[in-house]
Amino acid sequence: MGEAVYPVPSEWAQNALVDAAGYDEMYRQSVENPEAFWAEHGQRLDWIKPFTKVKNTSFDEADFGIRWFEDGTLNLSANCLDRHLATRGDAIAILWEPDGLGEPHREITYRQLHEDVCRFANLLKAKGVRKGERVTIYLPMVPEAAVAMLACARIGAIHSIVFAGFSPDALAGRITDCDSRIVLTSDEGLRGGRKVPLKANVDEALKQCPGVDTVIMLRRTGADVGFVEGRDVDWASAAAQQSADCAPEEIGAEDPLFILYTSGSTGKPKGVLHTTGGYAVWASMTHQYVFDYRPGQIYWCAADIGWVTGHSYVVYGPLMNGATTVMFEGVPNFPDASRFWQVVDKFKVEIFYGAPTALRALMREGDDWVKKTSRASLRLLGSVGEPINPEAWEWYHKVVGDSRCPIVDTWWQTETGGAMITPLPGATPLKPGSASRPFFGVKPALLDNDGALLEGATDGCLVITDSWPGQMRSVWGDHERFFQTYFSTFKGMYFTGDGCRRDEDGYYWITGRIDDVINVSGHRMGTAEIESALVAHAKVAEAAVVGMPHDIKGQGIYAFVTCNVEVEPDEALRRELVAWVRHEIGPIATPDVIQFAPGLPKTRSGKIMRRILRKIGENDVSNLGDTSTLADPSVVDNLLANRPLLA
């Protein structure tokens, strides 16, 4: 299969932090002598007490433990704020763009952000919040969300952000699990012109959470919402009464920084726990190298702070590096499908980092929405969250980036803290759809299902064989589950849950979660591969493929397909798509069923909920499990009503 390769543009090779030779050399050092490598790169932070120990990690059951820089102390908020005041105090830290066009944007300097964080940290302390205590944050994409995170970090409280799109039940479950007695929220959120009743959701959730005694509420829309005397606090007036001085607490490198809940394949969401020192080194270093970030550049990561990408690449990574980070409250298609690129033009964004699902949605609307904007400021594009199909990659490159901007397709997970497999723009020739090569210190390996190590060009289960500083340290309240989930499948290794192919050039191609791998007539196939082929068809906007039981092949291929808006799907198109996939991949990939669907079931972060599609594919629809986290649960009803009759 002759795939396209995009060489490193010469101006990037010449000017970037690392070129190809530099990458090889740094990578070699990082895996041959991690102690020395991380002792050096650990210096990128301001430590209160410098570390003398670097790496103390084991993935084996007998002496299991993950500790980095363990005897050092630091404060992450000081690393994000105080350290920049002398040199960049008046530089803009956060450029905030509101949901609608009618409201002004906000520019918050490092000095202002420092002051806001100190006042809010003092408010938390006044409310009795102590080091190690959990603070639940349920806020929209407003600068105060970053203020709240940094204020927690300043006093050593552990934040647990719950995405503002989650239901009261989901919020209550997360508050209860980490036993937090304080919740930060706003009256309402604004997204795509619609109001989200955040305070009402909190009031509803707290009926199940008797332990919560304090709610600090930001006024965003000024809506008339309930106010519980003695419990609820008005954010702005209470913070204004606090002093703007708050000395940063001395925090141990292995003291917890945050909890972030994420769903696994089984059970209730896990509280992924990250600690301070290693995470800070990882988030700042990956942000600097992956985006080739230089102070002064305008950088925009379009993720919500409710997801790990928002933690590491909207707030912590960029601010540690003294960046100007854009924070966008809204959605890509409001008021229309030009919005992302209008914001790029408005702020002269140089680096844009987004998700394939948004790109595919915009691609479906046609090129005009993009082309009527300039985007001349863009230098670099990024992708994260799911495999980006080559079709969307090419569109992103050609239409959004005017064939000028490298694309860094960054593979990583909530659990990994930051980017793990990713191109570096000055070093890595790009192959559309491949996350390419490991970041410094990352040792990926591919195993077969029995745990045997596979060499060379092959595909298998993606594991990481040694620890890296940004790795999660535990599941909140369930250390045993941490070990069982990630280190028991393949002994002595971190199991990512992803399937992956490595090509002749040592490039990694994530094929999707392992449970999405299907085996058709003895051929292992990534569902992403078939989806990618389908999406490459001019009439297809999005596709999701699952396995289905098949008498002869073992597993058959069931494809859910969403067409472009102007297309009326019919039997002729179905046949055309079957032939198309056979042509694109080969007869082994022939779809057995194609179901046209106006929408796919997605979580609010845009991930397709394959569990539901798999059940439909398996014709096991009596219990679809929890659908409460879907962005639009009615999508499922439509899928069920329109299942093709199977023989």
Q: Which residues bind ligand 6R9 (CB under 6 A)?
A: 262, 307-309, 383-387, 409-414, 435, 496-498, 510, 513
Contact yes or no for 624/557 (Cβ under 8 A): no
Task: Report CA-CA distances (Å) from 562 to 137, 535, 600.
Answer: 35, 9, 8
Question: Measured from the CB of residue 132, what is the shortest distance to ligand 6R9 in angstroms?
Answer: 25
Distance between alpha carbon 363 and the CA centroid of its chain, in Å? 21
- Is 111 assigned a ligand-binding role in the annotation? no
Q: How many residues does the chain have?
A: 647
DSSP state of 2: -
Q: Is 220 annotated as a binding residue?
A: no
Which one, 131 or 604, has the nearer CB to ligand 6R9? Answer: 604
Closest approach of ligand 6R9 to the CB of residue 195, in Å: 26
412 is in an annotated binding site: yes
Question: Secondary structure of the chain: what % helix, strand, coil (to 5)?
Answer: 35, 25, 40
513 annotated ligand-binding residue: yes
Query: Annotation-wise, does 416 bind a ligand?
Result: no
Shortest CB 115 distance to ligand 6R9, Å: 32
Please identify, using beta-carbon distances, which residue of 514 and 534 lies nearer to ligand 6R9: 514
Nearest CB to ligand 6R9, comparing residues 351 and 384: 384
Residue 371 burial (10 A CB sphere; 0-12, 13-18, 19+): middle
Q: How far is the CB of 263 from ligand 6R9 (least distance, A)?
A: 9
Instruction: Specify the residue, 309 or 555, whose C-beta has the smaller distance to ligand 6R9.
Output: 309
Q: How far is the CB of 533 from ligand 6R9 (least distance, A)?
A: 17
Task: Tell me the one-letter amino acid at 229.
Answer: E
Rounded to 5 degrees, φ, ψ at 245 are -110, 130
Q: Kindly state the smallest distance separating residue 561's Cβ from ligand 6R9, in Å.
A: 21
Pairing mode of beta strands 47-49, 73-74: antiparallel
Q: Is 193 annotated as a binding residue?
A: yes
Q: What distance in Å separates the CA atoms of residue 309 and residue 152, rounded to the nearest whole number?
A: 18
Question: Is 524 among the annotated ligand-binding positions?
Answer: yes
Cβ(581)–Cβ(513) under 8 Å? no
* Ranges of H-type helices in 315-456: 317-320, 339-347, 356-364, 368-371, 390-395
For the chain, count helices (H), then strands (E). 22, 32
Please report how close the Cβ of residue 105 comes to ligand 6R9 at its closest, in angstroms: 27
- In the complex with ligand 6R9, which residue's Cβ is closer, 74 or 612? 612
| 410 assigned ligand-binding residue | yes
Q: Which is nearer to ligand 6R9, 435 or 563 (CB)?
A: 435
Which CB sits closer to ligand 6R9, 286 or 321? Answer: 286
Whether 235 has a binding-site annotation, put simply, is no
Nearer to ligand 6R9, 293 or 313 (CB): 313
The type of residue at 457 is A
Residue 246 to residues 122, 218, 223, 311, 445: CA-CA distances in angstroms?
Answer: 7, 21, 32, 23, 45
CA distance 65 to 56: 8
Give me 328's structure tokens: 């966008």
**Least CB distance to ligand 6R9 at residue 367 (A):** 24
Q: Which residue has the tokens 């009439």?
A: 539
Q: Is 642 annotated as a binding residue?
A: no
**Known binding positions:** 191-194, 309, 333, 385-387, 409-414, 498, 513, 521, 524, 535, 537, 540, 582
**Known binding positions for ATP:** 385-387, 409-414, 498, 513, 524
**Known binding positions for CoA:** 191-194, 309, 333, 521, 582
**Known binding positions for Mg(2+):** 535, 537, 540
